[in-house]
Chains A and B, each alone.
Chain A
Amino acid sequence: MSVRDVTLRGEPLIELDGVSRVYKTAAGTITAVDDVSLAFGKGEAMCIVGESGCGKTTAGRMLAGLLRPTKGRLIFEGNDVWKIKGRELASFRRAVQLVHQDPYASLNPLRTIYQTLSAPLYRHKKVRGHQAATASVTDLLQRVGLTPPGDFLVKYPHQLSGGQRQRVAIARALTVDPRVIVADEAVSMVDVSIRISLLNLLLKLRDDLGVTIVLITHDLAVARYFAQKGRIGVMYLGRVVELGRSEDVVGDAAHPYSAALIAAIPEADPTITRGKERVELRSAEIPSLLHLPSGCTFHPRCPLAEPGLCDVQVPVLQPLRDEREVACHVAVRERAPAAELLSASTGG
């Protein structure tokens, strides 16, 4: 039984099906995303985690329908999105909204909050007249925790803090009643002291409105908090290497890359962070996307790599125990998460 069956309960709402995205540059071909399949259920809160260059943003943009996959399909409610046209395509566009990383760039600096939020309402005939629009915008501001709403209506983005702007961006996404919100590093540019409240807001929208929320982040602690009861997918060099329940991934990483990552993260706790057991990588260098290693792209750095296997065969996501999937030959063969294999090898 794969993770998808367990967590999704029924048909997925939106799905990346074997998508790749290739860029041709002067220096050569770059594969930003390589054969990624991910399915998201209705009302799911899921995280995609990875470091820069892992393809998580590209994957997120393909999920939001903003970027056409070079290969593979984006499926929404059973339809192949890039084959539909006209009104149906427009309604898909509204159904999936992206919240950008930079709240300083995602709001038009010349438009007031009221103007920004009322435009989609008018356009899609959700309200008629100034009074109804003000009432709707007020509701939206309240929903995203900008209170009292009256204070924000006539403000310009530059008069708000980063966190407040991000709330406006979320409210704007809500104007079109989306089914899916893709939040790309949506909290990484706001102050640490208010990140949690933004994550809580997204989770509350999920609970209240049943919106599927996909948070893309480089911060595993943020991912852990956001997906407490949900799933985390870990990406490395364009591929999903691990997929599973949040607490499993964080507590007992199945892929050697996630295990190394978790062991390396500095923590805001002197005793824990100074006593952490390290996972020694064979190489510190991240391979260039222009010249990806053969077989498993992690093999040149992986402490578990086996010559003749990992450098030859590309591992695919396969089920491991505890409703999780991992793309690692060794972990699958040993039927154990890499974190256990690694601590056994250092401990013994």
Chain B
Amino acid sequence: MSAAATPLTMARLAGPWVKVVDFLRLLSGRPIGLVGLAGVIFFVLLAFVVPFFVPYDDKVNVTAIYEAPTLAHPLGTDSSGRDVWNQIINGGRDILLVGFLAAFFSTVIAVTFGSLAATVGGRLDTAILGITDIWLTIPHLPVLIVAAAVLNLSNLLYIAAILAVLGWASLLRQIRAQVLSLRERDYVEAARSLDLGLFHIIFREILPSMRSYIVIHFIFAMTGAIYAVAGLMLLGLVPLSGINWGLMLNLANVKGAIFFKDSIWYILSPILAIALFQLSLVWLSSALEDIFNPRLRSGG
């Protein structure tokens, strides 16, 4: 019954909805991926939508320091008696945004130049590869620390840009290697002899078969960037105002929360938030790997 009904429902749905339904149907066969997707959606909503309803509240309350979870404070309170749950809600936006942007920039750089190097070859390839190799030898942490000291890192975009500039090189090498092998495929050779042009060959023939690869590396880049930015904040290198999960860790450290037994909820909350979000991303990416395979799409 349901098997017969599916094509009908599918046919009635227009354009992009078919793809969404198809995607969810495929994802539903992979519980880990479903949990991952739910986790990602949860954190995105938490970080970007919930703050509209639960505005940041930094009122200090010295009578309620390091409280255990209660109904009023589901995750307890911090060193100044502020609500940790409120901070978690309001502290996700910056972290997620920086992670996303950093991953986006570095992926764009890596994909563009990596595929160009592999497809065009010759001197361009040698030049791009040379720069990449030099870049790879630059140690990240010192550069980040120096950059944080020299530049005004209060702008999120700057942090994302710096992380991206530091992070593209290894991905570029991987993308280039992938494109090099895909370039030898018969259908790419056919595209070349049909004179379909470089743009078509890269963006229509080669990169689409790397979708899953790129998305998965994008997700990994994002997890990397999130850890990097959280680390920067923990070290206090980013003079950010407001609140975010990294800053929470930094404050917990600075205010000596790690020396109190009662502060466990305060310390664990941002760590868990980051870890769970990252876990969701990784789970989602592992399920995506299967789904991007068109052979599994509505049968042959």
* Residues in A lying within 8 Å of B, measured CB to CB: 64-66, 90, 93-94, 96-98, 100, 102, 105-111, 119-120, 123-124, 156, 158-159, 169, 172-173, 175-176
Stretch at the interface among B196-204, B220-228, B263-271: B196-204
Q: Considering the chains assembled together, what is the distance between the CA atoms of A108 and B209 in angstroms? A: 9
B186 touches A105 (CB 8 A): yes
Instruction: State whether the Cβ of B139 lies closer than 8 Å to any Cβ in chain A.
Output: no
| B186-217 to A contact mask, C-beta < 8 Å, 1/0 | 11011111111100100011001101000000
Instruction: State whether the Cβ of B295 lies closer than 8 Å to any Cβ in chain A.
Output: yes
| B235-254 to A contact mask, C-beta < 8 Å, 1/0 | 00000000000000000000
Given contacts A66-B189, A108-B209, A109-B209, contact A120 B300 (CB under 8 A): no
A76 to chain B, nearest CB (A): 13
> B73 — which chain A residues lie within 8 A by C-beta?
none
Instruction: State whether the Cβ of B294 lies closer than 8 Å to any Cβ in chain A.
Output: yes
Q: Considering the chains assembled together, what is the distance between the CA atoms of A172 and B187 in angstroms? A: 10
Closest 4 CB pairs of A and B: A106-B186, A159-B300, A100-B186, A108-B187
> A109 — which chain B residues lie within 8 A by C-beta?
209, 294-295
Given contacts A105-B186, A106-B186, contact A175 B195 (CB under 8 A): no
B9 to chain A, nearest CB (A): 18
* Minimal Cβ-Cβ distance residue in B for A123: B196
Please tell me which one of the listed residues A66, A100, A111, A175 contacts residue B194 in the complex, with CB atoms under 8 A apart.
Answer: A175
Chain A CB within 10 A, most for which of B190, B197, B208, B297: B190
Instruction: State whether the Cβ of B255 lies closer than 8 Å to any Cβ in chain A.
Output: no
A158 touches B300 (CB 8 A): yes
Instruction: State whether the Cβ of B185 lies closer than 8 Å to any Cβ in chain A.
Output: yes
* Residues in B lying within 8 Å of A, measured CB to CB: 185-187, 189-197, 200, 204-205, 208-209, 211, 294-295, 297, 300
B195 touches A105 (CB 8 A): no
A93 touches B195 (CB 8 A): yes
Given contacts A106-B186, A119-B200, contact A97 B294 (CB under 8 A): no
* Minimal Cβ-Cβ distance residue in B for A108: B187
A176 touches B295 (CB 8 A): no
> A158 — which chain B residues lie within 8 A by C-beta?
294-295, 300
> A119 — which chain B residues lie within 8 A by C-beta?
191, 194, 196, 200, 204
B77 to chain A, nearest CB (A): 52
> B297 — which chain A residues lie within 8 A by C-beta?
156
A315 to chain B, nearest CB (A): 35
* Minimal Cβ-Cβ distance residue in A for B296: A158
A166 to chain B, nearest CB (A): 12
Q: Considering the chains assembled together, what is the distance between the CA atoms of A119 and B195 in angstroms? A: 10
Q: Considering the chains assembled together, what is the distance between the CA atoms of A199 and B204 in angstroms? A: 31
B196 touches A102 (CB 8 A): no
* Minimal Cβ-Cβ distance residue in B for A89: B195
B136 to chain A, nearest CB (A): 29
Other A-B pairs, 15, CB within 8 Å; known A93-B195, A111-B204, A156-B297: A66-B189, A90-B195, A93-B192, A93-B194, A100-B190, A107-B187, A108-B209, A110-B209, A111-B205, A119-B200, A158-B295, A158-B300, A172-B190, A175-B194, A176-B195
B57 to chain A, nearest CB (A): 49
B294 touches A98 (CB 8 A): no
B187 touches A98 (CB 8 A): no
Given contacts A156-B294, A158-B300, contact A106 B187 (CB under 8 A): yes
> B186 — which chain A residues lie within 8 A by C-beta?
100, 102, 105-106
Q: Considering the chains assembled together, what is the distance between the CA atoms of A111 and B206 in angstroms? A: 11
B209 touches A123 (CB 8 A): no
> B191 — which chain A residues lie within 8 A by C-beta?
108, 119
A64 touches B185 (CB 8 A): no
> B196 — which chain A residues lie within 8 A by C-beta?
119-120, 123
A98 touches B195 (CB 8 A): no
A97 touches B194 (CB 8 A): yes
> A124 — which chain B residues lie within 8 A by C-beta?
195
Q: Can you list 27 residue pairs at the A/B interface with Cβ under 8 Å?
A: A64-B193, A66-B193, A90-B195, A93-B192, A93-B193, A93-B194, A93-B195, A94-B193, A94-B195, A106-B187, A107-B187, A108-B205, A108-B208, A109-B294, A109-B295, A110-B294, A111-B208, A119-B196, A119-B200, A120-B195, A123-B196, A156-B294, A156-B297, A158-B294, A158-B300, A169-B190, A173-B190
A289 to chain B, nearest CB (A): 22
* Minimal Cβ-Cβ distance residue in B for A65: B193
* Minimal Cβ-Cβ distance residue in A for B185: A105
B193 touches A123 (CB 8 A): no
* Minimal Cβ-Cβ distance residue in B for A105: B186
B186 to chain A, nearest CB (A): 4
> A93 — which chain B residues lie within 8 A by C-beta?
192-195
